[in-house]
Chains A and B, each alone.
Chain A
Amino acid sequence: MSILVDEDTRVVVQGITGGEGKFHTEQMLEYGTNVVAGTSPGKGGQEVAGVPVYDTVDEAVEAEDADASVVFVPPAFAADAIFEALDTSLDLVVAITEGIPTQDMAKVNKRLQEVDTRLQGPNCPGIITPGESKLGILPGNIFESGNVGLVSRSGTLTYQVVDTLTSRGIGQTTAIGIGGDPIIGTDFIDALEAFENDPDTDAVVMCGEIGGEDEEEAAAYIAENMDTPVAGFIAGRTAPPGKRMGHAGAIVSGSGTGTAESKINALNDAGVPVGDTPAEVVDHIEDLL
């Protein structure tokens, strides 16, 4: 089993005719993802990597009976692409795009309250159920099917932890990158809840970073609602206050909120062991399994 995506998930790629969209469509197809359609306004009727292109998401969903979309649309137009996807019957929209204006995302966030569709991202590497399907830009070859779930705010840090897991013979049910922006769709709690309800996930790795209070809220959720054990990692212990560390969301405010220390303490208080290094997180997972 897995969460959110599996081999049956029928995927639309929004922005399929762009450089990134085209390249990653090929990569996803190669991995085995069921990419059934692409969209690009004005390019309807074309094909990319053998996948039919439509002018609108609505058309693509209707014609190909799609369940999920992946957004590779450039930042200036990405919020519009997300709104378009939210106005269809899709179950899941995965926004890869980095650099969407925060106020655009506040408006998307408002719309999300009114629809049943789940948004993942933006500014995320996507989601993968090893051996079945990947939506996004994750390097499929480092993943291995297994019994550990992973949720993370960061792409390459996810790869680092997964690589260590796989090299020690520990496979993954699903890995989900929730994204490094201040306003995102699916958050830690949503992903943790899905893993808790997945009978095949025996332990979960949660990789957080400085900024915001999502990790603290996730810690409270774990303490109250989860039987599945969780191990954590928090990036940004040495980040100075007031400086944005790459991700728009990774910033410790002047008043000291969003610090690594506060997040590590909250997780420890919830019974979640936190690794000092990525390798130590995997040690904790070995102990928990």
Chain B
Amino acid sequence: MRLHEYQAKDVFADAGIPTPGSEVASTVDDVVSIAERLGYPVAVKAQVHVGGRGKAGGIKLAEDSDEAREAAEDILGMDLKGYTVEKVLVEEAVDFTNELYVGVTMDRGEGKPVAMVSTKGGVNIEEVAEEDPDAIAREHIDPAFGMHPYQARKVVYDAGVDKAVARDVASILTTLYDLWASKDAADAEINPLMVTSDDEVVAADAVLNIDEDALFRHPDLAEMEDEAAGDELEAKANEYGFDYVRLDGNVGIIGNGAGLVMTTLDLVDHYGGKPANFLDIGGGAKAERVANALDMVFSDENVDSVVFNIFGGITRGDEVAKGINEALEQFDEIPKRVVVRLAGTNAAEGREILNDELVTVEETLEGAVQRAVEYAEEDQ
């Protein structure tokens, strides 16, 4: 779960990391009055979950109230890579001489947290990592002990941070690690961490992504999620408890188990179709879950056909088939043709039970996908 910049900055500021004065606004008038209060120049920053906001026109500087109004009018309501901007952060602009990067994430290869510092802040750090990996100093942390103070100093010195601010940067990194650990974060980043002409260090941006699996022990952070929700269908999937990812094709896909659903997507592509989504309904296939899954896929207007691919393991194929029949009988008219492939335990019995007036039954995975791709082409 990704927090917005303004939410992450609140968390960082509460922990003692210096941040510029700022406030959130959702109207043009509020932007101007906040800017007047903070004093110019200010930065007006779109609060959406997309990378490269600056380049896409989502961040503007304002020197006076006219410019603040203009920036607010431009940014509020704009479409940033598919997301509508509903909120902006109005923030004191920092007069900086230098931009650093500090971050903490999980190095999955090592199975350990890693703290990172670079003097090449202010740009996309993933590009730096690719083009100039030596420009990022790294230090692995033992999660049982947490980050020792010497490790924070070491990684800051290794990165070549100016001695005048090294102590402050190390202290901010220590706080950032503690936050990362205590909030069950996946990533905690400040990019850029700005250095001013009088050697002050200020967090000009804030990234805090929380491990979804740990949200149960952070109810305060979980509450922020609704505000941060993106795609409408993805929000609906959350409600139903499905793993769902919306894609841009027209073959709707429902299956059980992440690996098998991904494989179904790949096969749609392999046979010349375009997957509309990833939807894992998980274990079991009770009528209600099946109905919810179909509701999700049918509410995506791009979908022209649906492939339902269930491998019955412990869940028996005949039970799955009953669930699918019941779910489909609830529709007066089935909006798109549905191809069902059942395999595994009691699959043959399941195929017998399936009502072939409601669905097309296929025996093999490959056959089912090819059929759904055909239907999608015919019914476009």
Please determine whether chains A and B interact with each other in the same assembly.
yes
Interface residues of chain A, those whose CB is within 8 Å of chain B, are 23-24, 27, 75-76, 99-107, 109-111, 125, 137-139, 141-142, 152-160, 163, 180, 182-183, 207, 209-210, 212-214, 233, 235-240, 243-250, 253-256, 260, 276-279
Question: Taking A102-B213, A212-B109 as contacts, is the C-beta distance between A142 and B344 under 8 angstroms?
Answer: yes
Given contacts A103-B143, A110-B143, A245-B278, contact A141 B345 (CB under 8 A): yes
Contacting residue for B111 out of A109, A245, A250, A256, CB 8 A: A109
- 25 example contacts (A-B, Cβ-Cβ < 8 A) are as follows A75-B216, A103-B211, A105-B111, A106-B106, A109-B111, A110-B144, A139-B345, A141-B345, A154-B260, A156-B255, A157-B259, A160-B260, A163-B344, A182-B106, A183-B111, A209-B262, A238-B247, A238-B269, A239-B265, A244-B245, A254-B51, A255-B129, A255-B130, A277-B270, A278-B365
Contact of B143 with A156 in the complex, beta carbons under 8 Å: no
Please provide the chain B residues from 266 to 290 with a CB less than 8 Å away from any CB of chain A in the complex. 266-270, 275, 278, 280
Q: How far is the CA of A157 from the CA of B181 in the complex (A)?
A: 34
Tell me the interface secondary structure of chain B in the complex: mixed
Given A139-B314, A142-B345, A254-B51: A103 in contact with B184 (beta carbons within 8 A): yes
Top 3 nearest A-B pairs by Cβ distance? A154-B259, A246-B258, A156-B257
* A76, B312: Cα distance in complex, Å: 27
In-complex Cβ contact of A249 among B108, B214, B261, B312 (8 A): B108
CA separation between A180 and B282, bound complex, in Å?
Answer: 14
Q: Name the residue among A99, A139, A163, A212 with the largest chain B CB count within 10 angstroms.
A: A139
Question: A101-B214, A141-B345, A246-B280 are known contacts. Are A278 and B108 too (CB-CB below 8 A)?
Answer: no
Chain A residues closer than 8 Å to B142, beta-carbon distance: 110
Which residues of chain B have C-beta atoms less than 8 A from A183's C-beta? 106, 108, 111
* Contacting pair A102 B211 (CB below 8 A): yes
- A183→B259 CA distance, assembly (Å): 17
Q: Would you give the shortest CB distance from B289 to chain A, in whole angstroms? A: 15
- The one of B143, B217, B261, B275 in contact with A76, judged by C-beta atoms closer than 8 angstroms, is B217
Q: List A contacts of B162 (CB < 8 A).
A: none
Using A141-B345, A276-B270 as known contacts, say yes or no to A213 and B109 having CB atoms under 8 A apart. yes
Residues of B within 8 A of A256 (CB): 130
Bound-state CA distance A256–B126 (Å) is: 9
Report whether B259 and A152 are in contact in the complex, using a CB–CB cutoff of 8 Å: yes
Asked whether B305 is an interface residue with its Cβ less than 8 Å from the other chain, the reply is no
Q: Which residues of A contact B186 (CB under 8 A)?
A: 102
Q: Which of A23, A142, A153 contacts B259 (CB 8 A)?
A: A153
Q: Is the CB of A240 within 8 A of B259?
A: no
Q: Judge if B16 is at the interface, Cβ distance under 8 Å.
A: no
CA distance A135 to B208 in the complex (A): 38
Beyond A76-B216, A238-B266, A277-B267, whether A156 also contacts B51 by CB under 8 A is: no
What distance in Å separates the Cβ of B361 from its nearest Cβ neighbour in chain A?
A: 17
Complex partner residue of B266 from A160, A180, A235, A244, CB under 8 angstroms: A235
Q: Are B313 and A155 in contact (CB under 8 A)?
A: yes
Q: Which residue of B lies closest to A75 (CB)?
A: B213
B residues near A100, Cβ cutoff 8 Å: 213
